[in-house]
Each structure stands twice: as structure tokens, then as C-alpha cells.
Amino acid sequence: MAEQLDTFTAAERQPIAQLREIMQVRKRGEEPLAFVHTYGCQQNVADSEKIKGMLAQMGFSFTETPEDADFILFNTCAVREHAEDRVFGNVGALKNIKRHHPSVIIALCGCMMEQEHVAQRIHDSYPFVNLLFGTHQIRNFPQLLFTCITDSRRVFARGGEEQDRKISEDLPTRRDGKFKAWLTVMYGCDNFCSYCIVPYVRGRERSRAPEAVLAEFEELVQQGYKDITLLGQNVNSYGKKPDRGTNFAQLLRRLDEVPGDYRIRFMTSHPKDCTHELLDVMAGGKHIAHHLHLPFQSGNDRILKEMNRHYDRAAYLELIHYAKHVMPDLSLTSDVIVGFPGETYEEFRDTVSLIEEVGFTSLFTFIYSPREGTRAAKMPDPVPAEEKSRWFQELCAAQEQIAAKRCACAVGTVQRVLVEEQNPKTGLLTGRTGGNIIVDFSGDASLCGTFQMVQITAARNWILTGELCG
Ligand code: SAH
Ligand code: SF4
Ligand code: F3S
């Protein structure tokens, strides 16, 4: 079957030029302002950069103050209840802004909006929201906004089955960072972990063509980006759907061959698809950071099975063992869920013992949150919230000690650090090691955006202090 690249067509671009004119008239020649707020993961951050790219082409500048904006957009996350509550709270607060500034256009997009019950609630209870669109509709954003403004009506657009096969290429992008960039290599997720809403709101897995990824990557390196993170819900299944004839390890090797002074990272890796081939490519790479984010979720085999994760504790530890063997300086990070339905204290303790065995640099820990429509949401969940909260504290305390120990081990080493910014309060420069650990040191602001060798002199909790090597 012929390759369907789905480039951004002239017809899809046309409303951008029209909106530019409309906004100029509306603002009587003054620059229109947009406020874009992003919730959730890097995937959403990358999507927001595309939407901001389109807004910039429509003539918008950007503001951090919603009260000043002519267009307000929240790009939302559905992964946990807390994330959703925050969005509803903040959307509610926009009502006041609308009252004082009735011409402001209020828009919501992202993962939450792909859920029927959320779209319905926004429709019924938040009448001041003008535009709502889902994760599959980003390329249609100019047309949707155009309709919303020219027809003066509310526009709601959510994904359809056929959208699941689309891969949008060539959308304009306005990147937030000067040295760090996100590069999406695959969209969607087919794993259906029993607790997770992502496959329902992001659709089926689909990988970009390796040529398209390579072209964007080369452009980023040429533009001077130094820390490029390849993104996907499960980058390790890159190239399977549609069959790209290239797996993730091979893609990574190809990108690593691009000449230049930069670092590559990737996230997220699913352990069930993480191969020795990938770890070997990391170990042998010229530019690949020795940092692996490999979420294990639980250290207990029964829970892992209930979560539908398709690996067990032994398989996870085998991978870690091999990864440390080929990269002795590897920095490991992970995601963990505490209090999955039916988890007992003994089963939770297997998670604590796993983190002690592995020694993660840092951990993203979450208390299980039921998501409507997922399998786990229907499972009996007898452990009270206060009990889960105690387990959560126990896990965090254990990890704090591990992180402090790991950081202390770095004292005396020399690290290659990408200098990111000067702290306005302390005047110190701040950067990150290949392992993604923060390092503070004295130096000139002109070093921002360069790699420097830094001798680590002290560690406090999970932040390192050092001195520039002369
Ligand atoms: N695709 C990535 C993670 C996406 S969501 C992966 O598979 O690793 C990021 C993290 O949120 C997950 O790793 C998990 O730890 C957490 N998470 C997802 N759904 C959750 C839920 N219902 N309750 C609590 N945490 C959840
Ligand atoms: Fe969710 Fe699992 Fe997919 Fe990650 S791999 S996005 S946790 S379903
Ligand atoms: Fe949230 Fe969507 Fe990412 S649900 S975690 S923003 S893929």
C-alpha cells in the first residue's frame, strides 16, 4: 500500500492566512495575544508546540497572563483524576475572564477532551468554552478556529476511527526551548495496561517514517539543539505499525550517526519491548545519553499480571542487569503505581524491594487513580485511601535515601554537563548530566547552551554542586 504521509495540505493551511487577517481587523492592527497552558506529559508539550506554531503563523504573540489574551487554550491530561480536577477548576476560573473580556476565545484540547463524558460536561456546564478539540484534531485546528470565529458558534471536534491511521507531518512548530527539543517518533498506544486511559484518548499506535524522523532530527541539530528527546508512549515498539522495516534500536543508531555536538534521549520505554539490541546501541552510541527511563509500575508478579504489563519482576531485573553491565554509568529512572486495586501491603513491599535492588536516580510515584472505561476501574479496591497514602510515603522515603546515596557517589567524578540557564537568585549556572541529574556551578552566562566538563564537589539530596574544569 502506498505510504500515507498526510502532510499538512494547502487547503488545511488556508484558514491560517484568513485568521491572520481576521485577527488584524479585530485588533485594529495590534498584535493578538495567545495564552497556551499545557498539562500532562511531554507528548502534550510537543502537541502544544505545534499548536503554537500555527498560532504564530496566524500572527499571535504569546502571553503568560490569561487576562491579557485574545485566545486562551488549555491542552489537558486525563491520566489521573487529580489532573482532571485541576483542569475543571482552572476552566471554571476562566468564566470571570470571559465576563470582563467577552471577545476572548476559550479553547480546550488534549487527552481529556477525547472522553465523551468530559466533552458532554464541558458542553453542558461550561457554556463560555467556545472550542473543544481532541488529540486527533490538531491538524484541523486552523479550520476549527476559523469556523468558531466566522460562524460565531461553539465548535466541538473529537477523534474518529479513521484518524487513528493518520500521522501529521510538516505542521509548523514553535519550540519552547532553545537547547532542548522534543521529537515525536510514534503516536498512540496499543498496550491497554488495565489502569491506563492513554490508549483510549490517544488512539492506536502508529510510527512516523524513519526518513521523516531523520529529516526533523537533522534540522534540530543544524538549528543548534543540544538535547533532543525522542517521544512516544512506547518508543520500543517503534516501526511495528505500520511496518517501517526499522525497529527503534536501528532508528536510534541511524540518528546517532548524524554529525554534531548534541545528546539524544528517548521516552518512554516499555520493558516488554526493551531489547538487548537497544541497550547495546545505547552503550555503543556517540551521542546517546546513558539515561534509561524504564517504568516498572510494580515489583510484584501478580500485580504486574493484573496490570496487563506482559513482563515479570525477573524479566525486568534481567534487563536492568544487562543494561548496567553494558553501561556501568547508566542512570535509571522509572514510574511506579501504589495501591493498584487489590494490592496487599506484602505485594507493595515487593515494589520497595525492587527499587532498593535497582537503585534508581529518581522515581515518578503515583497513587492509583481509577479511570472510567478501563478494566482496573471495575476491579474491587478495598484498601482505604489513607492506607495507600501511608504506603506511598513509605516508598518516597525509601527512594529519597536511594537517590541521596546515588548522588553522593557522583562526588569526585567529572561530568559532561549541558549548561541550561543562570539562576537569577544565586547567579550560579544550572545544567544537567547525561543521566539527567541537575548540577549547579559558577560560570559565565555565555556558557548557556554549551557542554562543559564539571568536577562534582558535593551532593545535597538529588542536586549536585561542582566546579568547571579549567
Ligand atoms: N507510556 C508510558 C507512561 C504513560 S502515563 C509507559 O507505559 O510507561 C505515565 C505514568 O502514569 C505511567 O507510567 C503510570 O505510572 C502512571 N499512570 C497511568 N495511569 C495511571 C492511573 N490510572 N493511576 C495512577 N497512575 C497512572
Ligand atoms: Fe498507558 Fe501502558 Fe500505554 Fe503506557 S504502555 S501509555 S501505561 S497503556
Ligand atoms: Fe496525560 Fe495524555 Fe500524556 S493523558 S500523560 S497528556 S498522553
**Mean pLDDT, range 198-208, rounded to an integer:** 94
Tell me the C-alpha distance between 145 and 32, whole Å: 14
Ligand 3 pocket, 44 CB below 6 A? yes
pLDDT band at 167 (very low <50, low <70, confident <90, very high): confident
Residue 233 CA: nearest ligand 3 atom is 7
**Mean pLDDT, range 83-95, rounded to an integer:** 94
469 is in an annotated binding site: no
Tell me the C-alpha distance between 278 and 281, whole Å: 5
Does the pLDDT value for residue 2 go beyond 60? no
Residue 371 CA: nearest ligand 1 atom is 22
Q: Are 219 and 132 in contact (CB under 8 A)?
A: no
Q: Are 439 and 462 in contact (CB under 8 A)?
A: no
Strand 33-38 to strand 71-76: parallel, antiparallel, or no bridges (unpaired)?
parallel
Please tell me the predicted confidence (pLDDT) of residue 1: 37
pLDDT band at 164 (very low <50, low <70, confident <90, very high): low
Ligand 1 pocket, 119 CB below 6 A? no
Residue type, 411: V
Which residue is it, cell 510510527?
207
Please tell me the predicted confidence (pLDDT) of residue 165: 64
Tell me how far the alpha carbon of residue 334 lies from the centroid of ligand 2, in angstroms: 13
Tell me how far the alpha carbon of residue 308 lies from the centroid of ligand 1, in angstroms: 13
Tell me the C-alpha distance between 358 and 229, whole Å: 24
Please tell me the predicted confidence (pLDDT) of residue 442: 97
Q: Are 203 and 135 in contact (CB under 8 A)?
A: yes
pLDDT digits over 38-59, tens only? 999 999 999 999 999 999 999 9
pLDDT band at 170 (very low <50, low <70, confident <90, very high): confident
pLDDT band at 441 (very low <50, low <70, confident <90, very high): very high
Does the pLDDT value for residue 382 go beyond 60? yes
Looking at every residue in the chain, the average pLDDT score rounds to 95
Please tell me the predicted confidence (pLDDT) of residue 161: 57
Please tell me the predicted confidence (pLDDT) of residue 166: 74
pLDDT digits over 300-316, tens only? 999 999 999 999 999 99
Three-state helix/strand/coil letters over 389-426: HHHHHHHHHHHHHHHHHHHHHHCCCEEEEEEEEECCCC
109 is in an annotated binding site: no
274 is in an annotated binding site: no
Half-sphere CA count of 87, side-chain side, radius 13 A: 29
Q: In DSSP terms, which residues pair with 364 in a beta bridge?
A: 335
Q: Are 435 and 263 in contact (CB under 8 A)?
A: no
pLDDT digits over 334-344, tens only? 999 999 999 99
**Mean pLDDT, range 193-212, rounded to an integer:** 96
pLDDT digits over 92-146, tens only? 999 999 999 999 999 999 999 999 999 999 999 999 999 999 999 999 999 999 9
Q: Which domains, and CATH codes, for the chain? A: 4-164 (3.40.50.2300), 167-406 (3.80.30.20), 414-468 (2.40.50.140)
Sign of torsion over alpha carbons 25, 28, 30, 33: negative
DSSP, collapsed to helix, strand or coil, labels residue 346 as: helix
Stronger pLDDT, 166 or 467, i.e. the higher one = 467
High-pLDDT (> 90) share of the chain, % = 92
